[in-house]
Amino acid sequence: MSTRLDQATVDLLGVLAYGELTAFERLASDARLAPSISDKHALASMAAAEYDHYRRLYDHMLAESIDPEQAMAPFVGPLDAFHDSTPPNDWLEGIIKAYVGDGLATDFYREVAAFVTDAATRGLILETLADTGQASFAVAKVREATKADPAVAGRLALWARRLVGEALIQAQRVAVERDALTELLVGGSGDLAGIARLLTRLTDSHTERMASLGLQA
């Protein structure tokens, strides 16, 4: 694999592409659990948007002389392990997973993308990290459900905490195995204090996301 992009950027493209591909698969699968045609339509539209993001990342890698499958391969294990360990039990848990779990990952990748030196690649990454409608959809559906049955809130809050815990475990696994990504993050942040501030920002964003759902972080 010969490319002008550094290994950290290749790794970032690879993990993002595989993340978008699995997001497409999950949203398409979740659409089968949707209680109404309009909900199925919404999830199908989001799935299509995720696949479009995947194709753009895939095509960009090809244009940069990067083998997309080779770039994605190191992240298949960690991402599949996360999804295998956190199968949603119902429609609402699927929504929480797409909004809270994917949201945390998106926040992290957006932080890392800020340190990518190639402007075109950085711009594409930020575009593919844009919300495809999950946020407003998730907030509306979860608030609607908890209003109808307040007891649901506690269960969903516990589920969200589990998702975050599992996501952090897999993120640590990726960090250990992919030195280039870790070095990019540490180098871009400046020092460990910069990493600490980044983690604080991620935590704050997660808390805000949970609050928007009407759930306890």
Tabulate helix, strand, coil % of the chain (nearest 5).
80, 0, 20
Of 167, 157, 32, give the one whose Cα is nearest residue 96: 157
Report the alpha-carbon distance of residue 33 to residue 59 in Å, rounded: 32
2 in any annotated domain? no
Cα 111 to its chain centre, rounded Å, is 12
84 in any annotated domain? yes
Retrieve residue 49's tokens: 């948007």
52 in any annotated domain? yes
The conformational region for residue 54 under phi > 0 = left, psi -120 to 50 = alpha, else beta, is alpha
Report the alpha-carbon distance of residue 186 to residue 192 in Å, rounded: 7
The count of other CB atoms within 10 Å of the CB of residue 117 is: 12
Give residue 199's pLDDT: 82
The answer to whether the pTM exceeds 0.85 is: yes
E strands, 72-181, are none
For residue 22, the enclosing domain spans 7-213
Burial class of residue 12 in the structure, from the number of CB atoms within 10 Å of its CB (0-12 exposed, 13-18 middle, 19+ buried): buried
H/E element holding 14? Answer: helix 7-30
Give residue 33's pLDDT: 87
155 in any annotated domain? yes
Q: What digits encode the pLDDT tens for the residues 41-88? A: 999 999 999 999 999 999 999 999 999 999 999 999 999 999 999 999
Cα 39 to its chain centre, rounded Å, is 21
Number of domains observed in the structure of the chain: 1
pLDDT beyond 60 at 12: yes
Report the alpha-carbon distance of residue 11 to residue 5 in Å, rounded: 10
Q: What digits encode the pLDDT tens for the residues 102-143? A: 888 898 889 889 889 999 999 999 999 988 888 899 999 999
Q: What digits encode the pLDDT tens for the residues 195-209? A: 778 888 888 999 999
153: domain CATH number? 1.20.1260.10
CB 167 within 8 A of CB 105: yes
| Mean per-residue pLDDT of the chain | 90
130 in any annotated domain? yes
